Amino acid sequence: MSRFFMEKEIFETGLVLEKIALKYIINNNIDFGFEIENNIKKLIFIASGSSYNGCQIAGRYLFENLNIDYECYYSSEFLISKPKIYEDEEVLYIFASQSGETTDTLNALKYVSKYTSKTFAFVNNDNSIIYNIAKYKINTFAGIEKSIASTKALCAQIFCIILLGYRLKNEFNPKLLEIPKLIKMFLNNYKEGENSIKFEIQKLTSELKNISSFVFLGSQNDLNIANEAALKLSETSYINSIAFPFGEFLHGHLAILNKNIPVLAITSQSFKDFEFECLDKIKQKYPNTLITNLANQKSCYNKAQFSFLYDSCDNKIYEIFIKLIIIQLFAFNISINLKHDVDNPNGLSKVVK
C-alpha cells in the first residue's frame, strides 16, 4: 500500500467508477432515482479548480457526441459578471464541488436559485450545503479524498456528468459499462510494472529535477485535459505550468522555449496531422526542447524523446479517463522526485467530509 494518499486515491478510480455504474446504471438505463425535465437543451456549468476543468471536459464530450450545448464558468467569475439567468428556457445549471462546501460555488448556487429551480449538484458529500440547496443532486461516491490534489473525485464527477448527458437524451452507450474494468486493468498493470508508461514517467522525472516551468499542449478536449494537467503539476510540484492550444502556442508564446522549457503534447487521432506539424516547427526552431507525447499508440509522435502511449480500446469515454490518470501519475511522480509533500502542498487546503 502506498504511503501517499494521492497515489492511493488515483488507484481507487476504477473502484469508484464501478460503484457509480452499479448505483446509476440499471438494466442498461441511467436512473438517478428522480425524474428530470425532458426538454433540457443546454447545460451551464459553474465550478472551481479541478471541478471546473472536469466540467469543461465532460461538457465538450457531451457537445461532440450528444449535441448538448454548454457553457462553463469559474464560480468566482460567475459571481462577478452575474450573467442573465434563464428562468423558463431549456437550461439546466450544473454545480460541481468535491466537498459540497466550496464557497464561490455555493454563493453562485444561491444566486441562481433566486431566479430558477433548474439546478443540479454533483458533489462527493451528501451532507453538504450545496447538495441540500440544489433541486437535483447526486453523490459521486468517490469517498473521502485526503490528498489536496483531486484525482478520483474529479474522475467521478466527469463520469456522473456524462451519465447525465445520456439520461437527458434518453440514450444509453454500452461502452459506459466497460470503463471501470478498463481503468482497473490499466492501473493493475501499471502497479505491477507491466505498463511502459510507468517506466517512461520514471525516466522523464529524472530529467526534470531542475526545471521551473512546463508547457502542455492540446486541441479541443485535449486542451481541457492539458489545463487540468497544468493545474495538477503546479499544485503538487510548484512548477509554473501552463496549457496552450497547439496552433496558438506558435503565435508568440513559442518564445518561452528560449529557456529550454519542456513540452508535453496531448494528442488524439483526429487532429494528428495538424498537431504533428506544430511539434515539428517547435523541434526545428528549438532543437533542445524536451518533447513528451501522450497519445494513442496509433498516433505516436515518433520524434518525441518520451512517449506515454495508451490504448484507447476504441472507447472515447475511457480515453478521457486514461489521459487524466496518466497526467495525475505524472504530476505525482515529479512531486515525489522533488521531495515535496504531495498530499499537503504549501498554501493549499480543501474541505472534505
Who's near 274: CB < 8 A, 6+ residues apart? 219, 246, 247
Predicted confidence (pLDDT) per residue in 205-261, tens digit: 888 888 999 999 999 999 999 999 999 999 999 999 999 999 899 898 988 999 989
The arrangement of secondary structure in 5-179, i.e. its CATH architecture, is 3-Layer(aba) Sandwich (3.40)
Q: Are 157 and 51 in contact (CB under 8 A)?
A: yes
Burial 207-238 (b: 16+ CB within 10 A, else e): ebeebeebbbbbbebbbbbbbbbbbbbbbbbe
**Which residue, 103, 109, 107, is CA-closest to 121?**
109
Q: What is the DSSP letter of 84?
A: P
pLDDT score recorded for residue 54: 98
- Identify the three-state secondary structure at position 210: coil
Mean pLDDT of 10-32: 97
Residue ranges covered by each domain of the chain: 5-179, 195-337
Band (32; pLDDT cuts 50, 70, 90): very high
Band (300; pLDDT cuts 50, 70, 90): low
Distance CA 304, CA 34 (A): 49
Band (351; pLDDT cuts 50, 70, 90): very low
Q: What is the DSSP letter of 124?
A: S
pLDDT surpassing 60 at residue 267: yes
Q: Which CATH superfamily is domain 195-337 in?
A: Glucose-6-phosphate isomerase like protein; domain 1 (3.40.50.10490)
Q: Are 263 and 215 in contact (CB under 8 A)?
A: yes
Q: Are 87 and 113 in contact (CB under 8 A)?
A: no
- Identify the three-state secondary structure at position 122: strand
pLDDT surpassing 70 at residue 1: no
Distance CA 203, CA 189 (A): 18
pLDDT surpassing 70 at residue 311: yes
Over the chain, what is the mean pLDDT?
Answer: 92
Q: Are 125 and 100 in contact (CB under 8 A)?
A: yes
Band (353; pLDDT cuts 50, 70, 90): very low
Band (88; pLDDT cuts 50, 70, 90): confident
Predicted confidence (pLDDT) per residue in 159-190, tens digit: 999 999 999 999 999 999 999 999 999 999 99
**Which residue, 158, 207, 163, is CA-closest to 338?**
207
pLDDT score recorded for residue 317: 98
- For 232, the grid coordinates are 495538477
**Which residue, 210, 217, 293, is CA-closest to 259?**
210
Helical axes 179-191 vs 316-337, angle rounded to 10°? 30
- For 157, the grid coordinates are 464527477
Do the domains 5-179 and 195-337 sit in the same CATH topology, yes or no? yes
Distance CA 259, CA 158 (A): 36
Distance CA 337, CA 284 (A): 30
Distance CA 91, CA 43 (A): 6
Band (302; pLDDT cuts 50, 70, 90): low
